[in-house]
Amino acid sequence: MNPQVLDPNAYLEGLVRNALGELLGEEAAVLPVSLDRPRQPEHGDLGLPCFPYAKALKTNPAQAASMLAERIRPDTLVSEVRPTGPFLNFRFHPKALAENVVRGILEEKEPYGPWASNGLSVVIDFSSPNIAKPFHLGHLRSTVIGAALRRLYRFTGHEVHGINHLGDWGSQFGKIIVAWREWGDEKALQKDPMRHLFDIYVRYQREEKERPELKEQAAEAFRRLESGEENEERAIWKKLRDISLQAFQGPYKRLRVEFDHMTGESFYEDKMEAVIQELEKAGITTVSEGALVVEFPEQKIPPCILRKSDGTTIYATRDLAALFYRRETYHFDKALYVVGSEQKLHFRQLALVLEKLGWPQAKNVQHVDFGLILFFNQEKGRWEKGKTRSGNAIFLDEVLDEAVAGVKKIIEEKNPDLPDKEAIAEAVGVSAIIFNDLKNGRIKDVKFDWNEMLSFEGETGPYVQYAGARLSSILRKAGSSVPAMTQSIASEGGIDFELLSDATPVLLTMMEFGPTLKRALEKNEPSILTNLMIRIASEIHSFLRDHRVLGEDPDLTRARLALVAAGRKILETGLEILGVTSPERM
């Protein structure tokens, strides 16, 4: 019977915490335990910086490391505990490391498989495109970052509510209604709805400068839309909303993005007044130049406008109504807004309003901001953002099509007989765009470089996908599979994990999966996981370069096939969290 599978990281953290408890008692509970790979592999498999413990122990970091080392003894998993200056370094028994990591992955034990429920509820507001406008490249980052966070939180045991807070209300709809009245064409709408709506919106922006009366017409149209009456303006709004929602399903399906709730700003139309009344009752509102606002004199930032002087609301009012609704409906512990960095002031204002109300959740309403997507403007010779108003938005479906076409060309050159070429090109091309976005720290701007993004070498989606396809190929040639190897390990005789003593580097990298997910959660940063996937793929390629799997001694081949299956499984799991496919063939 196989012994219980251990998570080496969690096991070692437990040993350290026990030792700290012996030294410091209850004080140890608040101290961090940050295990990481030493920069120099000869120092050990994992290292613990002891700087945080020196002050508590009233000594220096090197002595703190020695004091901990005296209380942690080698055992069946840990072969060596050695203080090296201010660090405490650990080494695992290679056989025990291999068995616990390979079995942990294949048997989907935590942290490699879905984590047990932690009882915490998280609301994630992401994507949120504007109705009657095209789904363009500017929507990509919120969509793929938010979708990755939704999967990450769910995988790690949270109850997750992923919400598409559609931009289907507000003063811009007055403009769209006027544009439709002036230049709308039913045939053009049916043929290509989003491009037609885009064209008439751009035309409105252009002609408003020459015809000031359009602006007043738009303001009046929005006032009538917000009146609550079933009038012409509402009929136009409903029609364009329904058409837009249908059109958005195409990009979402291709990006493999799902939502738990799709409630746009209009959903809160009948909920805003109650929120305004509650804010007034709390005594935190004032009237400024005819508008109802919440002011922040201590922070010296502009006030949050709840109702404009003409009686209409703005998106801040709707966001507050949404927060009230989500608190009552989902009882969230944390609410994330995956919205560009340009909106920092808006979310700072929201948080301050909640603080004034005394909400305990206020500190956990977080703005998950990100940088821009830039494209190269050939005429101007520079990278810049596409803007809907100036008419140069880059439609997302065109970008996806171009990526897929680029992958098709590579397949025709390198593997023209590949089965299901169309489906694989779609999977690899779309995933390349997602991966390119998520490998960058979210606050950084992302440049679209087609040659780099679609390369099968370097830090790219196709490179990581190819590592998984390569492992699948090895399993196929062996007449095996991930489920078959999982069963083989559980069978009598199983695997001789001693034969994987030379696989320690790749095993240690795979073992980083759990700590990586924790760091990604702490920072709401998918790039931390993306970069681990790159490193795992690199370690796998390196191992396969130096070690044959097939054609060796049967016991050695079986052991290495188990490692191959674990590598395939963890790549597939990590890529799935990111929203990237993991093809069996490439």
The string of DSSP codes covering 254-307 is HHT---SB---GGGGTTTHHHHHHHHHHTT--EEETTEEEEEETTTTEEEEEEE
How many CA atoms does the CB half-sphere of 488 hold within 13 Å? 21
> If we measure between CA atoms, which residue out of 77, 88, 110 comes closest to residue 19?
88
**Cα radius of gyration rounded to whole Å, the chain:** 28
Q: What is the Cα–Cα distance from 451 to 395, expressed in whole angstroms?
A: 20
Q: Are strands 291-296 and 301-307 parallel, antiparallel or unpaired?
A: antiparallel
* Pair 171, 82 in one domain: no
Q: What is the Cα–Cα distance from 322 to 264, expressed in whole angstroms?
A: 9
* Pair 573, 515 in one domain: yes
pLDDT of res. 422: 93
For residue 256 the two structure tokens come to: 């493999």
Does the residue 390 lie in any domain? no
Specify whether 55 is catalytic. Answer: no
Does the residue 387 lie in any domain? no
* Pair 37, 83 in one domain: yes
Specify whether 414 is catalytic. Answer: no
Does the residue 389 lie in any domain? no
Distant-in-sequence, close-in-space partners of 94: CB < 8 Å, separation ≥ 6: 498, 500, 501, 504
- Active-site hit among 133, 175, 196, 439: 133
Does the residue 380 lie in any domain? no
* Pair 277, 130 in one domain: yes
* Pair 286, 181 in one domain: yes
* Pair 141, 207 in one domain: yes
Q: Are 397 and 169 in contact (CB under 8 A)?
A: no
CATH number of the CATH domain containing 66: 3.30.1360.70
Does the residue 180 lie in any domain? yes
pLDDT tens-digit readout, 135-175: 888 889 999 999 999 999 999 999 999 999 988 887 888 99
Residue range(s) defining the domain that contains residue 475: 401-578
Q: Out of 105-119, 358-372, 450-464, 507-521, which region has the weakest mean confidence (pLDDT)?
A: 450-464
- Active-site hit among 43, 58, 136, 414: 136
Does the residue 82 lie in any domain? yes
* Pair 287, 408 in one domain: no
* Pair 186, 317 in one domain: yes
| Percentage of the chain exceeding pLDDT 70 | 98
Specify whether 139 is catalytic. Answer: yes
- Active-site hit among 43, 93, 95, 139: 139
Among residues 373, 393, 423, the one where a domain terminates is 373
Does the residue 391 lie in any domain? no
Among residues 355, 373, 391, the one where a domain terminates is 373
* Pair 228, 343 in one domain: yes
* Pair 259, 154 in one domain: yes
* Pair 164, 85 in one domain: no
DSSP letter (8 states) at residue 123: E
Q: Is the pLDDT of residue 389 over 70?
A: no
Tell if the pTM clears 0.85, that is, is over it.
yes
CATH number of the CATH domain containing 149: 3.40.50.620
How many structural domains compose the chain?
Answer: 3
Does the residue 393 lie in any domain? no
Q: Are 161 and 123 in contact (CB under 8 A)?
A: yes
Q: What is the Cα–Cα distance from 502 to 383, expressed in whole angstroms?
A: 46
Among residues 321, 353, 373, the one where a domain terminates is 373
Q: Are 485 and 106 in contact (CB under 8 A)?
A: yes
For residue 104 the two structure tokens come to: 């942990």
* Pair 350, 448 in one domain: no
pLDDT tens-digit readout, 102-143: 999 999 999 999 999 999 999 999 999 988 887 888 889 999
